Amino acid sequence: MSNVTLTTSDLHALVTRALTANRTSESNATQVAAAIVRAEADGLKGHGASRVPFYAAQAKSGKVDGNAVPECHDIGSGARRIDAKQGFSYPAINLAIEQLKEMTSDCGIAAAAVANSHHAGAAGQPVEKLAEAGLVGLFFANSPEAIAPWGGNQALFGTDPIAFAAPRKSQPPLVIDMSLSKVARGKIMVAAQQGDAIPEGWALDAEGNPTTDAKAAMAGTMLPMGDAKGAQLVLMVELFAAALTGSLFGYEASSFFEAEGPAPRTGQFLIALDPDRFSNGVFAARLEALIAAILEQEGTRLPGARRFALRAAAERDGVTLPDALHNEINAMAG
């Protein structure tokens, strides 16, 4: 399979053109493109350029409102509700982040619910932005049905990511980002696009049998990480992201991969904390002490370290897309 290499700025421009050519405002397109490019640069290809054909097709059909302007509702001194208005998640999440930065300066802790939203992309991105502002961040998101409750055989929950980030002095933030399925569904989507097999143990087919066929896995269910314990974590995140935001549960939401149908109306929930206030100013030192203890052990590394290295390489050398995907995005860009 042949590939094409683009600079990150060229990929951003291409994604922006593809979206604006498909009923998306310039402001929204640039914010979506920024998230796509960051995910691609970080090696998270399931949330990167592979999503563009799906996003553009859904904007064109109206399943996602590419021109939506998120609305912010003040529901308390440290709380906001952001209505994504059935548009892309990224503008709504960016608005939530700005509100959280402002609120934590007053309250020390703040929360934002994002409702009526769409695919949240790489969950580490919003909390990394909070950490860059000196805050500890938590992020929960739900997605269309992909995981069955433990002991069941019918998908009810999404792969529902959770992310955490903490600021560090003179270092990139500590970022923990994980899907609660054994692997992010986007990885299976990429394998299906490229005709690749997947490892056994990632997913089940529509009949509930283990499968290495990526397309069969997309039609079946994902396995939760940690088995029964992971299934309970998925339930917790579903309640944070959907019930607390007044959005749809995974089994009620339409697919992120199909152009037709109603808006998914999934949700996201963000929490930000000022670590210095809660720790009496010693959080940074305590964090570094723990990190040092971890890295003293041979073979260890920090979560997110590989992602930051890939990002630096992408900024220097560009990102590589399969020719077929590059051609598809180009065709959508007109």
Q: What is the pLDDT of residues 299-327, one digit of tens each?
A: 999 999 999 999 999 999 999 999 999 99
pLDDT averaged over the chain?
95
Establish how many alpha carbons lie within 13 A of residue 328's alpha carbon, considering only the half-sphere containing its beta carbon. Answer: 16
β-pair type (79-83, 109-117):
parallel
pLDDT in tens, 83-118: 999 999 999 999 999 999 999 999 999 999 999 999
Which range among 7-11, 211-215, 278-282 shows the weakest confidence by mean pLDDT?
Answer: 211-215
Residues 6+ apart with CB under 8 A from 1: 194, 322, 323, 324
Q: Is 297 exposed, middle or buried (0-12, 13-18, 19+ CB in 10 A)?
A: exposed
Residues 6+ apart with CB under 8 A from 54: 256, 257, 259
More confident residue, 260 or 222: 260
Give me the pLDDT at residue 134, please: 98
- The predicted model gives 159-163 an average pLDDT of 95
pLDDT band at 1 (very low <50, low <70, confident <90, very high): low
All structural domains of the chain, each given as residue ranges with its CATH number in brackets, are 1-61+305-334 (1.10.1530.10), 68-179+230-303 (3.30.1370.60), 182-223 (3.30.60.50)
Give me the pLDDT at residue 95, please: 98
Tokens of 214: 């990526």
